[in-house]
Every structure is written in structure tokens, then in C-alpha cells.
Amino acid sequence: MTTFGAPLAGATAATATSTPYAHPGLARLVAQDLRWAFRRPYGWLLGIGINLLLSLAYLVVVPLRDGTHRDWAILVGTYFAVFVLADVTTTNVLGVDTERTRLRLMRGLSLARILLVKNLVLLVIVGLPTLVATAAITIHDEANYRLELTLPGVLYPVLTWLGVGNLVSVLLPYWPVPLVTRWRERRVWPRTVRWLVCLGTPYALCVAVDPMSALPRYLTRALRLPPGPGLHGAELLVLGLLAWGLLTGAALVAAHRRGVPFDDLR
């Protein structure tokens, strides 16, 4: 089984030294992945589209209720962002693009940079439309200065889920294959069970990650921060970046210790 991690680091570095490869800049890498996302087989777009339809259907069955949530912009934005991102779209960013990811690693591009590029692309595809919708709701229903709170309020769960996705992507990557093939191989139990675990993990993590939504409130009370949308918004943004950084760091440590398997991902 081929893995990319600590054992391969020396060989990769040696290859890069003997045969230098000019790596594209960050913006160019993001542009390349955006083009990949909008081309067949549309791996990410299909997952995002299906989750968006499911979120709308669920919204019809179980409407959002105000309750203790007084900020509809954050409530709606967080709902759609988490519903779309809490899926293999986010937790399989390496497996869904195995060949290109493997090639980049062989050319000496770091796993940290690859994950950063994947996250930025997901931010453009999912995060940007969600932030625009949140801003529109805020401007329509509230004072403009509330944007200082509502936008970071939506970014916090988005960044947290991107970090969660990076960690799971390293621990449980899998290669999407047609459902017809899955059905034919259904009695190959190791593959079938692994695939079902990969599919179910994001939804199980929803329960584990949900308590983090209360973290900003507890931190505000502990630090006795004065009220104000600007300060609270900055707190949410910092917490989101910290969550993303810590979870991504854990993913890189896991990859360094055990490698990322890229063979027999089915």
C-alpha cells in the first residue's frame, strides 16, 4: 500500500533536489482546482448540490425557529453552511482528487499547501455564496453595522468544519466510484464497510462538533468581554481560525506519523 508521509519525505526531497520542479503560486493552484471542480465528473459540485437540495427539503419539514436565536442572518447562514459542509465533500478532499493530489505530493508540494488550496476552493464555492446571502439578510433586516457580527458568525462554523474535514480527509480518504460498481462489489465486506463508515462519519461528527457552537458564548463570559458586535465578531473570527489551525495541524501530524494511504481507497 502506498502512503505519503514521513517515510516518503526523504525520497520526495531527494527527487525534488535532483529534478527541480517549479511549483505554481497559491492563486494559480486555487484557479486550477476551481477549474477541476467545474469539470466532469463534478465530484464536489454534485455533493454540494445534493446537500443543498436536502437542506431545503429538511427546511420544509422542520422549519427554522427563532427560539433563543435572535439573529436570523447567522441562523440561516450557519444552517446552510453546516448542512452543505458536514458531508464527504469536506471530509474527503484528498480522496476525491486522488490522482492530482498524489502527483502534487510526488512533485514535492507539501500536504499543508494542498489542504490550504482545497479549503480555499471550498470557501469560494460554498463559503462565499453563504456570506453574500448572510450579508443580504443582514442589510435587509438589520442595521449595516451588524455585518461585523453576522459575517464572522457564519465564518466560525465554516472554518471549524474545514478543519474537521482536513483531519478526516487524512485519516479516512476514499475514492468515489459509481454506485453500480459499489453494488457489484457489495459482498466485498472490507470495502463496503469502509465506504459506509466514510459516508457516515461526517454526520456522526455533527453531534461531536455541535458543542463547539457554544464555545464563543462561554469564552465571552469567562473573559467578561464588553458587549458589541465588532468585538464579538473578532472573537468568532479568531476562534474559527484557531479551530481550523489546530485541526489542520492535527491532520498534518497524523499524516506525518502514519502517512496518507492512496492505494485501494475503494
Pairing of strands 3-4, 260-261: antiparallel
Give residue 210's identity as a one-letter amino acid code: D
The torsion angle over the Cα atoms of residues 191, 192, 196 and 199, rounded to 10 degrees, is 60
Identify which of 260, 37, 102 has the alpha carbon closest to the alpha carbon of residue 166. Answer: 260
Identify which of 94, 95, 91 has the alpha carbon closest to the alpha carbon of residue 204. Answer: 91
Q: How far is CA 134 from CA 22, 124, 177, 183, in A?
A: 39, 15, 35, 41
> pTM of the entire structure?
0.83
CA–CA gap between residue 106 and residue 104 (Å, rounded): 5
Tens digit of each residue's pLDDT, the chain (266 residues): 445 554 434 334 444 444 556 778 999 999 999 999 998 877 778 878 887 887 777 777 766 665 444 566 777 777 777 777 877 788 889 988 888 998 999 899 999 999 999 999 999 998 898 899 889 888 888 888 888 888 998 899 899 999 999 999 999 888 888 888 888 888 888 888 888 888 888 888 877 777 677 777 777 777 777 776 777 888 889 999 999 999 999 999 999 998 887 665 66
